Structures are given as structure tokens and as C-alpha cells.
């Protein structure tokens, strides 16, 4: 979910075109491509930023060994490091949504950086970052700064 001057919009990156969309829905083909090396970029990352912690024993259930990331700037810089250097975060908003079973933490991070490796950045753009991608997390978008 993203906000624009036209209101709220849903951004989806997929290899396969969506089907059975509502009548008002619009799609747009966008070529995946990263700017050249050493290009300054701005980025937005919508991510479920949690860390897996080691279970203390065999009785710890799946999903109980996670904790939210406290130092978002360091976490984002580490996740982007293969494709982006000199990462600076200028905005970070954390929300928690619940649909019954478990809460979903969503961090929306805006920042700047410089392209380190085009191929590595294209992999990040295509595959996403972090966990809970099935729930809409992990989308990285970039633009020239």
C-alpha cells in the first residue's frame, strides 16, 4: 500500500500479470532495471523487519524465535549492501496489523544511497527483501535521486 496524490494505491511486482481484477484496477508494465553504478538513488522499502533468534530448546515452536529489528538503519544498510552503498534513512514508519492469528509488523523505510552493483540491485528489486513477502512485504522501489 502506498499513498499518492490520487489516494491510496497498491503496488505489486509480479512476473505474471494479475487476473480477475476489480473494474477500477489498472496495471502497468514496468521493465526491471537498476540505474548505472555510482548513480545516486532514493528508495522506498516496505518490509517485515524481524530477526530470527536461535531457539533455546527443541520445544520452541516455529515463529517464536523472532524479534523486531531495533536499529533499522543498520538492518536496511546490511540488506541493501550488495547493490547499494552509503545508505541514509530519512523516514521510517512502523505499523502493526493483525488479522487474527499473528500480528504483522510493516516498516516503510525511505532513504538515499548510491548504486554499488547493478546486477545485485536488480536481484533485490526482483526478489524483494526480508520476510512475509506473501503478505505484501519486501517490495523495494528505486528512482534516480
Helix or strand or coil: residue 13? coil
Question: Domains, the chain, ranges and CATH?
Answer: 33-144 (3.30.70.1210)
Average pLDDT score, the chain: 82
Name the one residue in this structure whose C-alpha cell is 496495471: 27
Task: Give the pLDDT score at 55.
Answer: 58
The dihedrals phi and psi of 126, each to the nearest 5 degrees, come to: -75, -45
Distance, in Å, from the CA atom of 6 to the CA atom of 60, rounded to the nearest integer, reads: 46
Residue 130 pairs in a beta bridge with none
Task: Give the pLDDT score at 52.
Answer: 62
pLDDT tens for 7-58 read 776 777 777 777 888 888 888 887 777 899 999 999 999 888 766 666 556 6
Contact 63, 90 (CB under 8 A): no
Contact 83, 3 (CB under 8 A): no
Closest by CA position to 108, among listed 86, 91, 123: 91
DSSP 110: E
Q: Give 130 or 57, the one with higher predicted confidence.
A: 130
Closest by CA position to 72, among listed 113, 109, 46: 109
Per-residue cell: 134: 506473501
Task: Give the pLDDT score at 56.
Answer: 58
Q: Which helix (DSSP H) or strand (DSSP E) does residue 127 occupy?
A: helix 118-127
Helix or strand or coil: residue 35? coil
Amino acid at each position: 500500500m502506498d499513498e499518492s496524490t490520487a489516494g491510496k494505491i497498491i503496488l505489486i511486482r509480479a512476473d505474471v500479470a494479475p487476473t480477475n481484477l476489480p473494474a477500477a484496477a489498472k496495471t502497468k508494465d514496468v521493465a526491471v532495471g537498476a540505474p548505472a553504478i555510482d548513480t545516486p538513488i532514493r528508495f522506498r522499502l516496505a518490509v517485515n523487519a524481524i530477526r530470527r533468534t536461535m531457539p533455546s530448546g527443541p520445544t520452541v515452536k516455529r515463529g517464536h524465535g523472532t524479534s523486531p529489528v531495533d536499529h533499522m538503519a543498520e538492518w536496511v544498510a546490511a540488506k541493501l549492501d550488495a547493490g547499494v552503498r552509503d545508505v541514509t534513512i530519512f523516514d521510517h514508519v512502523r505499523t502493526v496489523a493483525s488479522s487474527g492469528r499473528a500480528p504483522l509488523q510493516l516498516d516503510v523505510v525511505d532513504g538515499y544511497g548510491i548504486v554499488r552493483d547493478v546486477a545485485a540491485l536488480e536481484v533485490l528489486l526482483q526478489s524483494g527483501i526480508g520476510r512475509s513477502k506473501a503478505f505484501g512485504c519486501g517490495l523495494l522501489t528505486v528512482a534516480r535521486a
